[in-house]
Amino acid sequence: MTDLSTPADATAAAQTPPVTVVAIDGPAGSGKSSVSKEAARRLGFGYLDTGAAYRALAWHAVERGVDTSDSAAVLDATGDFDYAISLDPDHYWVRVGEADVTEAIREIRVTEAVSGVARVPAVRQSINAMFRAMVAGSGRPGVVVEGRDITTVVAPDAPVRILLTAAPEVRAARRSAEISGHDATAVADALRRRDTADSKVVDFLTAAEGVTVVDSTELDFEQTVDAVLGVIAEGGVR
């Protein structure tokens, strides 16, 4: 994986207006992906699902038989990790090389492996730099960026930072509904294991200073989108 800590055309990037970032963090099943995508659509912004990069790398590693609990092996796997993602909320896709992995990265085998990938500091540093370069070169007036540590690490200076959360049982039910053909109990167990593992790397359950909490436990999809758009408007972003 190429180190993207510096955009390819730094001079051009410096001459273009800065891209407005809306940073949204939250645990799995909180609705952050679907809500962030819809918010981006209504704002005319780009949409960046940062978790897809870690999932895609986990898929890449698993496909090659890599033990994702082995940090050195994970780093080796990044050497030929050819990653691409759409920032268009209306035409979302994820690719690794020539393979369209948009659906494959949501498989339980990938969910089980992704924490092992995300916990490697060198991987996180390189991927976070890639996110910043993607946003800077998006060609959009703004990008809604969602993930685990966007409000604290990737874009701590974003004008709008939101922690979108929900009660554990609600999150488990939502994630089970998203993944057809899988046992609800198995999905809930996988979600709990991933939250536990990921919380050792980043704190995505507690809002940092200056971050607004939106709790979607009692909200449906439209109400959650409206709540998020309300926070964004209060932050002066339109």
Residue 34 assigned ligand-binding role: yes
Residue 27 assigned ligand-binding role: yes
- 8 Å CB contact between 36 and 85: no
Residue 28 assigned ligand-binding role: yes
Residue 176 assigned ligand-binding role: no
Residue 33 assigned ligand-binding role: yes
Which H/E stretch holds residue 173? helix 168-178
Token pair 């780093």 in the structure block, residue? 75
Provide the 8-state DSSP code for 207. Answer: P
How far apart, in whole angstroms, are the C-alpha atoms of residue 85 and residue 31? 20
Residue 230 assigned ligand-binding role: no
How far apart, in whole angstroms, are the C-alpha atoms of residue 89 and residue 77? 29
Residue 29 assigned ligand-binding role: yes
How far apart, in whole angstroms, are the C-alpha atoms of residue 197 and residue 174? 20
How far apart, in whole angstroms, are the C-alpha atoms of residue 45 and residue 144? 7
Residue 31 assigned ligand-binding role: yes
Report CA-CA distances (Å) from 79 to 57, 73, 74, 101. 11, 10, 9, 18
Provide φ and ψ at 77, rounded to 5°: -65, -20
Residue 158 assigned ligand-binding role: no
Annotated binding-site members for ATP: 26-34
Annotated binding-site members: 26-34
